[in-house]
Amino acid sequence: MHAAVPFIESATPDDARPIAVIYAHHVAHGTATYDIEARSVLATAGLISEHRAKGWPFLVARGADGSLAGYAYASQFRPRAAYAWACEDSIYIDPTWQGRGIGRALLEALLVAAEAAGFRTMVAVIGGAEPASIALHARYGFAHAGRLDATGWKHGRWLDTVYMQRALGAGAASPPAE
């Protein structure tokens, strides 16, 4: 049994190995990601470094002993320039920490960090239409924005993708600072 997570902080490339382990578990056993091969430690370190270089949030939740309980990051929703103010969130929890509020803590911190990074809207792309992820996002003000039926094939079945969206800061009430 883990104690409560005492803090959330920015990830560093040194966190790549435990992050890659958490992600590999979700690739092998879950439907939240449609990846079928886990990301390497080197690729994970690159992802963290890319986020840091672009000023995008990449957060980790640590237990009192320093172990990684989970991680979350926000990336530009699509690569085209007009999407520069829209981000997509990703949240993954170590299976031994699931059900202990880590996802809530990470999403709360990610919302603040993504707004501080200049994003004006956050999109949740929920692979497998995971009920726990839908409930988490709804709890934090995300609204249903669409559903794509049978968009992924994993673990011998078709998976739906649910889109949810939430404004950050002023949202669409004013133009972004350029």
The domain segmentation of the chain, as residue ranges, is 7-167
Q: What is the pTM for the complete model shown?
A: 0.94
Query: From CA 84, how far away is CA 178, in angstroms rounded?
Result: 10
Q: What's at 92, amino acid-wise?
A: Y
For the beta sheet containing 157-167, the strands, ordered from the edge strand earlier in sequence to the opposite edge, are: 7-10, 58-62, 68-76, 86-93, 121-127, 157-167, 143-154
pLDDT by residue (tens digit) across 9-47? 999 999 999 999 999 999 999 999 999 999 999 999 999
Average pLDDT, whole number, for the chain? 94
Superfamily of domain 7-167: Gcn5-related N-acetyltransferase (GNAT) (3.40.630.30)
What is the model's pLDDT at position 63? 87
d(CA 140, CA 116): 17
Using an 8 Å Cβ cutoff, are 59 and 73 in contact? yes
- Label residue 34 left, alpha or beta by phi (over 0 means left) and psi (-120 to 50 means alpha): alpha
Helices (H) and strands (E) counted in the chain, each on its own, are 4, 7
Answer whether residue 3 shows pLDDT above 60: no
Given pLDDT bands bounded at 50, 70 and 90, which one contains residue 4? low
Q: Is the pLDDT of residue 6 over 70?
A: no
- Decide if pLDDT at 65 tops 90: no
Whether the CB-CB separation of 10 and 30 falls below 8 Å is answered with no
- Say how far apart CA 55 and CA 57 lie, in whole Å: 7
Query: Quick one: pLDDT at residue 64?
Result: 84
